[in-house]
Structure 1
Amino acid sequence: MTIKHTLKLCFLLLIFSCASPNISKIEGKRLNIDENLKSDEAIEAFIKPYREHVNKDMDNVISYAPETYTKGDGKYNTAIGNLMADAVFSEGNPVFNKRTGKNIDFVLLNHGGIRSIISKGDITTRTAYEIMPFENSVVVAELKGEQINEMIQYLSKAKRAHPISSQLQLTLDKDGNIKSATVHGEPIDTTKTYNVATNDYLYNGGDGMVFFSKNEGLHVLNYKIRDVLIDNFKKRDTLNPKQDNRFIQLND
């Protein structure tokens, strides 16, 4: 008997079994979830030690922020965005290098992926979860210089502070046209292949970043952005990210 015939037989048996007169009538009832819905003490008692354990881990202090940082504190680059992109570079590059013998050239993330501020005071594991609640992971795409130029055009037109790491420098003139774009201080070489770290959402075309689709290869690091932040925060007693000149527009 083929798999197709087996499935048909199972389907017929299911129909006949559901048609059996011994099956009781099934009725549903809608329960509103509000303050009138009481918690189950037995379930609460069972969950309590796990909740306390998770909260203890989440509230573990791993660094300190002398100021509050938000993704709205700059037009083309922000302190929190620079922090995230540079963290992906510094934590992701050793992993990439160990696997391939190559280095990441620079990092591109997305402005909308920053989901919370970093508040002045203690930085905890929970902070990283609030900034990056999604399960996005680091991937490295091999892009030709032509695709890098497409990326630069995208960034110049988007006019948003999409986080880029410091290895990429982009300057716009007063009209928003590209005045200069360099990687490691060198102009974009259309014959060269660049290793660009990003997240899997953007690699798959998120935020209209379709230039990632024309790649020469992909490396999945199995390293969540959230874990990158946690590992990076733990290495520093104090976070002190800054806005800088990695992506700017000239006034004259």
Structure 2
Amino acid sequence: MRFTHFIFLLNFFIFFGCKQEKLHLTKIQGEQIQITDSLSSNTEIESFIKPYRDHIQKDLDSVLAYSVDLYSKTDGDLNTAVGNFMADAVYSEANPVFKSRTGKDIDMVLLNYGGIRSILPKGNVTKRTAFQLMPFENSVVVVALKGSQIDSIVEYLKTRKRAHPISKFKLVLDKDFNVIEAKINEKNIDKNKVYHVATNDYLYNGGSNMTFFKNNDSLYVLNYKIRNALIDKFIKLDTINPVIDDRFIQIK
């Protein structure tokens, strides 16, 4: 009987003795550490990283093409040479990928003005140039839209009055920004046809208030970055000489 009592008392003390107290956060302290040149570097880490850094820098600075002039997104009102180049590059480089997977062609390309993050400088063009133009990890997607939905793209472009990059698409406005002409691949837009519009994942998800992509027939994710399309285009060209043309204009 005494042995039974001993076992009971032992279990009692083990249960209540091991019970953890509830802990409560009472104070948070922090310290700001300034990262400046005064911080000494770790030579061992630096020597380890240096070969990799040198390799990356060499790769980024490898010359891919030559640009005959400096091109900026501020050079034009409704279309710019650098914007045209980027949209055309997406079309020429992404279309073979899309066609190999679906048997279909991309009908048009729409990017955004704000996505052009740098000038295209005069002189040697490198991989670094592509990273400067497109530092984001945005990838090409192709959205299937009915012809009737293309009206939303037209309305967006004529209302925004910005040089959003487009390719294989033409839009002509009058002096009051009314639509005179809207064509895809030099043909009038068929309301009953399905068009495959290439853009990037940021815009597909509503970036730059392009909300018209979500209501679509199909979405094709190419896993092909805009930046990589630019690099591939640079490699194929000896000389880069894009122009401002009549793909998006206003007749005054």
Q: Answer whether TM exceeds 0.5 for this pair.
A: yes
Gaps in structure 2 of 5+ consecutive residues? 1-18
Separation in structure 2 between the aligned mates of residue 157 and residue 193 of structure 1, nearest angstrom: 24
Gaps in structure 1 of 5+ consecutive residues? 1-14, 20-25
Separation in structure 2 between the aligned mates of residue 29 and residue 141 of structure 1, nearest angstrom: 48
Counterpart of 2:103 in structure 1 is: 101
* 2:55 aligned to which of 53, 69, 76: 53
Separation in structure 1 between the aligned mates of residue 31 and residue 245 of structure 2, nearest angstrom: 58
Deviation string, structure 1 residues 185-212 (Cα, Å, up to 9, x no partner): 2111111100000000000111111110
Counterpart of 2:82 in structure 1 is: 80
Give how far 1:18 is off. 9.3
Aligned 8 A contact 1:149 1:188 in 2: no
Name the aligned partner's letter for residue 238 of structure 2.
D
**Structure 1 consecutive aligned stretches of length 4 or more whose deviation exceeds 2 Å:** 15-19, 26-30
Name the aligned partner's letter for residue 94 of structure 1.
P
DSSP 3-state at the match of 1:151: helix
Counterpart of 1:136 in structure 2 is: 138
RMSD after superposition: 1.6
Counterpart of 2:3 in structure 1 is: none
2:229 corresponds to 1:236 = no
Name the aligned partner's letter for residue 212 of structure 2.
F
Counterpart of 2:207 in structure 1 is: 206
Q: Give TM-score, length-normalised by structure 1.
A: 0.88
Counterpart of 2:216 in structure 1 is: 215
The worse-fitting range, judged by mean Cα deviation, of 178-187 and 193-202 is: 178-187
The worse-fitting range, judged by mean Cα deviation, of 60-69 and 33-42 is: 33-42
* 2:165 aligned to which of 163, 166, 169: 163
Separation in structure 1 between the aligned mates of residue 32 and residue 77 of structure 2, nearest angstrom: 48
DSSP 3-state at the match of 1:128: helix
Separation in structure 1 between the aligned mates of residue 171 and residue 32 of structure 2, nearest angstrom: 56
Percent sequence identity over aligned pairs: 57
Separation in structure 2 between the aligned mates of residue 233 and residue 85 of structure 1, nearest angstrom: 13
Name the aligned partner's letter for residue 182 of structure 2.
A
Q: Give TM-score, length-normalised by structure 2.
A: 0.88
The residue correspondences of 1:107-186 to structure 2 (distance < 5 A) are 107-165=109-167, 167-186=168-187
Separation in structure 1 between the aligned mates of residue 163 and residue 131 of structure 2, nearest angstrom: 21
Separation in structure 2 between the aligned mates of residue 235 and residue 17 of structure 1, nearest angstrom: 68
* 2:66 aligned to which of 60, 64, 86: 64
Q: How many residues align?
A: 230
Distance 1:235 1:70, change over 3 A: same
Deviation string, structure 1 residues 161-182 (Cα, Å, up to 9, x no partner): 00001x1110000111111101
DSSP 3-state at the match of 2:132: helix
Name the aligned partner's letter for residue 229 of structure 2.
V
Deviation string, structure 1 residues 78-106 (Cα, Å, up to 9, x no partner): 00000000000000000000000000001
Deviation string, structure 1 residues 96-123 (Cα, Å, up to 9, x no partner): 0000000000100000000000110000
Aligned 8 A contact 1:92 1:138 in 2: yes
Separation in structure 1 between the aligned mates of residue 29 and residue 90 of structure 2, nearest angstrom: 52
DSSP 3-state at the match of 1:234: helix
